Amino acid sequence: MLRISPKSFVAFCSGQRSPQSINIYKYTISRYIHTPAPKLATAMSSPKPVLIAGAGPTGLMAALWLSRLKTPFRIVDKHAFAANTSRATVVHARTLEYYRMLGLSDRAVSEGRVIEYLTFLSNRKQVVNRHFSEIGGDISNFPFVLVYPQDLNEQLMIGELESSGVKVEREIEVTDLTQRDDGVAVSLKNKDGHMEEFEASYVLGCDGGHSTVRTHTSIKSSPGTYSQRFFVADVEAEVSIGLRNVNICFNAEDFCLLFAMPNGRIRLVGWAPDEVTTENFTFADVEESVKRNSGANITKVHWFSTYKVHHGVAETFRDGRVFICGDAAHVHSPVGGQGMNTGLGDATNLAWKIAAVLADKAAPDILDTYQEERRPFAERLVNTTDKSFTIATDKGLMGKAWRTIVIGNIAPLLFQFGFLDTIMFQTVSQVRIDYIQSAMSDKNYAGTLYAGERLPWVKFEDGTDNFQPLTALNWQIHVYGTLDVEVKEWASQNNIALQNFPFNENMKSKRIPENSMILVRPDGYIGQLFQGPTKDSLHKLQSFVDKWGIKSF
């Protein structure tokens, strides 16, 4: 029989209870009222691994997050080798912020080429020249466009995974999926035709626009294709325009995009003449157009290709335990260099949530917020780039008017008076993406700052900033102003890291209320925020944590 000392009984009744004593007393009482005793805590059995299908940038980003959060996984790819061509070329500020969280931003910036200016040239006359640091220098630590091609992105992430003992399993493809209550039975085939049956907890389809994973789900996707054919080329050339710029060169008839690559070559993008076909289309067919728009004298062509642009968004990003990310979920025009960056954002959003659920550090319902948060953005992106792309590439009167009147005359005035600067940088850099409508945000706000927004970036006089703690990849409390002892106790009781920043005018300009406390998500977005540590706000914060089953990693 379990004996309880008088001293322990007095302590229990007076409220001085430890978790162990509570379990003991519940067990004792249960013997008399015939309710089952609570099970003593036991070590959790290891969850089934996550399967990532596709080792492009999206799949590799998901793998890095799962690896850092110690979540078991496999990453497979049907191709024998990683990308060896540049493909997508641009990395924006929000992606570099994610890379910084993973400790990769310094290397990416050193290996890439920093583009500092946005330049429009109409008939080779400069009409817009905006310095990115003047536009975004107070918004992000990365106020520029980084030319860092897809192959270098993949090499960066593969090297980081391999340093942690993780290797991509190549020439392995998914041939079938069968979902069950506790996982997914996946059929895998290697290059020799050998079949393997693998049990996964969840499957991430990061395998591109022609996703095999997606075909084995109920997810529907019917992307369209623009009729216009485009060209892309890597060349050597003599140029008179700036190579620290993204140069958008145009006239009434056509356009080309020109910027420098990290390897010293120049990237050209433009559209193909209507009269040529894929079979006989060569760089010679567009060389005169490129020279007319940019003044570039091409001395050597290293690579030349043509393509048609697809566009569309899958009806859903989830089917049970199967999720799709990146091009498997959405494809769109290359306007603004958004494609690869959007896939990397998808992976970041989803991976930490899966890791938390498998570690019993978040309720499974949190996985529903992946689609809630990422699909609306993908849909807006496709719609806006569709409109811009359709008008800008139109060869009729509408397109000519847009290029000559709007881009050539009206846009320069808007930039000159500052009407386009901030919104242009925030939109293209993806720092403006928010999850305010997510169920997890719960319409919570303080002042004009809302849960679901990216945590505003604040730089301090000593050169540090409030993004440095985000490398923990974990939930954390930020207090901007005076730290109340009750907040400190709450953070300690919930095992959530606490950061206290003295309030300054920069915070005020970023809409952060004085003495506010912000619960920051692992991906750097605001989970909840309150102005002032009142009992009501701490109660609401505790309710949020309890509702979503949030625990620190």
pLDDT in tens, 493-550: 999 999 999 999 999 999 999 999 999 999 999 999 999 878 899 999 999 999 999 9
pLDDT band at 301 (very low <50, low <70, confident <90, very high): very high
Q: Tokens at residue 161, please?
A: 């995974």
Contacts of 271 (CB under 8 A, 6+ apart): 228, 229, 230, 231, 254, 255, 393
pLDDT band at 275 (very low <50, low <70, confident <90, very high): low
pLDDT in tens, 362-413: 999 999 999 999 999 999 988 876 666 667 667 777 777 778 887 788 888 8
For residue 10, what pLDDT is reported? 37
Looking at 366-454, list the stretches that DSSP marks H as alpha helix, in order from N- to C-terminal side: 368-392, 397-401, 411-416, 421-429
The amino acid that residue 97 corresponds to is E
pLDDT band at 43 (very low <50, low <70, confident <90, very high): very low
Say if pTM beats, i.e. exceeds, 0.75. yes
Contacts of 51 (CB under 8 A, 6+ apart): 73, 74, 75, 76, 174, 184, 186, 198, 200, 202, 203, 204
pLDDT band at 20 (very low <50, low <70, confident <90, very high): very low
The residue whose two tokens read 């925020």 is 529
Using the 8-state DSSP alphabet, how is residue 247 labeled?
E
Domains of the chain: 1-42 (no CATH), 50-107+148-221+314-389 (3.50.50.60), 113-144+224-310+394-414 (3.30.9.10), 445-547 (3.40.30.120)
* Long-range CB contacts for residues 14-18, cutoff 8 Å, separation at least 24: none
Of 178-192, 218-232, 371-385, the least confident:
218-232
Do you know the residue count of the chain?
553
Q: C-alpha angle with apex 85: 162 to 117, nearest 5 degrees? A: 100
pLDDT at 44 over 70: no
The amino acid that residue 107 corresponds to is R
Q: Is 337 helix (H, G, I), strand (E, B) or coil?
A: helix
Whether 67 contacts 50, CB under 8 Å? no
The amino acid that residue 466 corresponds to is N
* Distance, CA of 428 to CA of 53 (rounded, Å): 28
Residues in a beta bridge with 53: 76, 205
The amino acid that residue 258 corresponds to is L
Contacts of 392 (CB under 8 A, 6+ apart): 255, 335, 399, 402, 403, 407
φ and ψ at residue 465, rounded to 5 degrees: -150, 175
Q: What is the mean pLDDT of residues 21-27?
A: 36
For residue 399, what pLDDT is reported? 73
Q: Are strands 50-53 and 73-77 parallel, antiparallel or unpaired?
A: parallel
Looking at 78-211, list the stretches that DSSP marks H as alpha helix, in order from N- to C-terminal side: 93-101, 105-111, 132-136, 150-163
pLDDT at 180 over 60: yes
Of 93-107, 260-274, 357-371, 380-394, the least confident:
380-394
Closest CA to 145 of 117, 124, 166: 117
Closest CA to 318 of 207, 203, 224: 203
Closest CA to 87 of 186, 195, 232, 203: 232
The dihedral region occupied by 226, where left means phi > 0, alpha psi between -120 and 50, and beta the remainder, is beta
Using the 8-state DSSP alphabet, how is residue 453 labeled?
S
Q: What is the mean pLDDT of residues 55-81?
A: 97
* Distance, CA of 218 to CA of 220 (rounded, Å): 6
pLDDT band at 431 (very low <50, low <70, confident <90, very high): very high
Whether 322 contacts 170, CB under 8 Å? no
Whether 183 contacts 321, CB under 8 Å? yes
Looking at 275-338, list the stretches that DSSP marks H as alpha helix, in order from N- to C-terminal side: 284-294
